[in-house]
Amino acid sequence: MNQLEIYYEDIQPLKTQNKTIKKYLKLLITSELKEFGEITLVFCSDSYLLDINKKYLNHNYFTDIITFNYVNENIISGDLFISIDRIRENANEYGITVVNELYRVIFHGVLHLIGYNDKTDDEKKIMREKEDYYLKKVDFSGLEI
C-alpha cells in the first residue's frame, strides 16, 4: 500500500513537502518493524478538531492531534487529524520551529498507531524518547509549512 494522503479542513493549505513527510514516516514505521499501510493527515483548525473531539471522544477541550486507528496486524494505517493552531501555539511555547513541532505531532500519532501509549509517566517517557529519536533523523533545512 504505502500511501499517504494529506487534506486540509477549515484552514488554508500548507507548504508541506508531502514526499518528505512520507519518507520520514516510512523510516519510522519500518524501523519499528511494521509495514506502511494507508495514512491520512488532515490538517485543520482548533475549532474543527474540537468538534471531532466532542463528537467522537466526548471531550470538550482543544488538543493537537486525534488519531483514528485502522491498523491491521503489522500494517500501519490510520487518520491523523492535526490542529495547526495548536502546532503553532505549542511551537511558540516550547521555543521550537513550527515545522519541528508538526513533525513531532505527526510522529506522535503514528507511534500511537504502532502501539505506543502515553497514559502513564513511564509511557510518556518512552513516547517522548521515540519522538526525539525520529526527529533527530529529519533534515529540517528547507522544510516549511
CATH number, domain of 121, equals: 3.40.390.30
Residue 141 in domain: no
User: pLDDT digits over 37-58, tens only?
Assistant: 999 999 999 999 999 999 999 9
Residue 104 in domain: yes
pLDDT value of residue 38: 98
**pTM for this entry:** 0.95
Residue 109 in domain: yes
The C-alpha cell that represents 42 in the structure block? 488532515
Give me the long-range contacts of 100-103 (CB less than 8 A, separation at least 24): 100/135, 100/140, 102/16, 102/145, 103/21, 103/24, 103/135, 103/138, 103/140
Tally of domains within the chain: 1
Cβ neighbors of 12 (< 8 A, separation 6 or more) are none
What is the rounded distance in angstroms from the CA atom of residue 63 to the CA atom of residue 86? 7
Residue 143 in domain: no
Residue 10 in this model has a pLDDT that exceeds 80: yes
Residue 103 in domain: yes
What is the rounded distance in angstroms from the CA atom of residue 6 to the CA atom of residue 34? 21
User: pLDDT digits over 116-130, tens only?
Assistant: 999 999 999 999 999
